[in-house]
């Protein structure tokens, strides 16, 4: 298991899983989101290429109401 920090919360996730798998788990694959992996913005085409490691910091953001 990999211990990751997802949107500020500690989350346990299977090792050797990709960012795409993470999105799948949270039912976000069809939603408009963007991912930051350890402070670096990940282009969508790389979601399947990047695997989660212990202590990774992930931010998943989306659009919310705002002025």
Partner 1 sequence: MKKDIFKVAGKTLKSRLIVGTGKYRNFLETAKAIKASGADMVTVAVRRVNILDKKKPILTDYLNPKKIILLPNTAGCFNSDEALRTLRLAREMGGWKLVKLEVLGDKKTLYPNMIETIKSTQILAREGFKVMVYCTDDPLLAKELENNGASAIMPLASPIGSGLGIQNKVNISLIIKQSKVPVIVDAGIGTASDATIAMELGCDGVLVNSAIAKAKKPILMAKAFKNAVVSGRNSYLAGRMIKSHLALASSPFKGLI
Query: Does 12 engage in binding with partner 1 (CB under 8 A)?
Result: no
What is the total residue count of the chain?
A: 67
Angle at CA of residue 18, ends 12 and 24, nearest 5°: 80
CA distance 52 to 49: 10
Query: Does 33 engage in binding with partner 1 (CB under 8 A)?
Result: yes
Q: Which of 3, 7, 51, 55 binds partner 1 (CB under 8 A)?
A: 7
Query: Does 15 engage in binding with partner 1 (CB under 8 A)?
Result: no
Residues that bind partner 1 (CB under 8 A): 6-9, 11, 26-28, 31-36, 41-44, 59-67
């Amino acid at each position: 298991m990999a211990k990751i920090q997802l949107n500020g919360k500690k989350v346990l996730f299977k090792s050797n899983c990709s960012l795409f798998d993470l999105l799948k788990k949270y039912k976000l694959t069809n939603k408009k989101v963007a991912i930051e992996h350890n402070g670096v913005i990940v282009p969508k085409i790389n979601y399947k290429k990047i695997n989660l490691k212990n202590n990774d910091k992930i931010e998943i953001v989306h659009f919310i109401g705002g002025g």
